Amino acid sequence: MAPPNSKSFSVSVVLPASGWEMIANVRRRPAGWPARWESRAGAESGTSRNRLGVRGGSRATLQRQPFFPGVTRPDSVRPLHWREANAMATTLLEPRSAATDFDVEDVEYLRHGDKPLLARIFKPRGTGPFPALVECHGGAWCLADRTTERLRHEYMAAHGIVSIALDFRSGDEAPYPASVQDINFAVRWAKANARSLETRPDLVGLSGQSSGGHLAMLVAMRPHDPRYAAIPLPAGSSSQDAAVRCVIMSWPVINPLSRYRHAKRTAEGANPPAWPSSIIARHDAYWRNEANMAEGNPTMALERGEKVLTPPAIWFQAQGDIVHDYKDVESSFAGNEPQRFCAAYAKAGGSIALEYIDMERKAGASPDLSKCGPMFARMVEFVSEHVTD
């Protein structure tokens, strides 16, 4: 018997899969049943972690089902919102060839005293060299780590790009420019170890989200700054600099000073939202003062006329993002901060694209990367355009 009509749906993901060569098939079921997505893993076995984050088996099913009171779901099913399932179907359940399978490995790339800094390497299988992205996580310079943006790293590796997701010193433990030094070192380390990473020194780019986008661009613009390049490579390493082929940014904090003052003005207004207080505290922890926010500032460096490098760049911006996409009331520039930076970058001779994506980003909330499939695909396209053999 067909189920009764219902406007209330639950979404389930059955989790017995190991392979993650997901193929999305939309199947229309009889009236009263919504669409169903089913994916079958490739024949390959092993312990590679799949995109649903599980191990073992050879089959994964993502399906949307009507919810009826009294129906018991099996233990292997995890409830999801239907929008999340839609995003997973388009973002994660994409066909991939065996040539783009990848391996994941944690490697210590740098050590400060007794504290190791790890890079999580997502390396495509097959014959390289592949393009590579040194990835800088967000978190207002003080939060998160190399694991935070896993979906993006997996997507890059699944499409033939080595993704090098970094841990670096937090602003809570070491102020500016400590993390910039770590990232500058990581770029040089990646180039010096290009052979084992299945890339080449001339195929390395930088990528980052939020504060990580700021760090990526700052390192790319000033690869030879002696403060940033202060940590030497190990003895016997090949001589490398931190210049890169491209920069990819997702809603970067490109102007730390204007964002700090924007947050303070918002906090001082009537009925202020919650987000400015944490933002202000993390700016203070990392930057220590406004002079540093102005100095380590890609927008203001360009407007000061500093001699910097301007590799091809792209800025992805979510909709409704008042934390990153706002007008600096102290600037004479007519547009918001993304347009302001892009205009200055182009004036300095750089090629940069600003692309707004079909995703809303709410202030104070972490972005849902499962909804970023089109952005990830555009990132891959951008790398293929600008990082070639």
* pLDDT 10s digits, 154-213: 999 999 999 999 999 999 999 999 999 999 999 999 999 999 999 999 999 999 999 999
pLDDT at 361: 58
Buried b (16+ CB within 10 A) or exposed e, 311-341: bbbbbbbbeebebbbbebeebeeeebbbbbb
* Residue where the block lists tokens 């360009």: 302
183 and 217 Cβ atoms separated by less than 8 Å: no
pLDDT at 368 (0 to 100): 67
Give the three-state DSSP class for 267: helix
pLDDT of residue 362: 60
Q: Which residues of the chain have pLDDT under 70?
A: 1-100, 359-369, 389
Domains of the chain, by residue range, sit at: 9-91, 98-386
Q: What is the pLDDT of residue 373?
A: 80
What type of residue sits at position 76? S
Question: Which positions ≥6 away from 189 have C-beta within 8 Å?
Answer: 109, 110, 233, 237
pLDDT digits over 357-384, tens only?
A: 886 656 555 666 677 888 999 999 999 9
Which CATH architecture describes the domain 98-386? 3-Layer(aba) Sandwich (3.40)
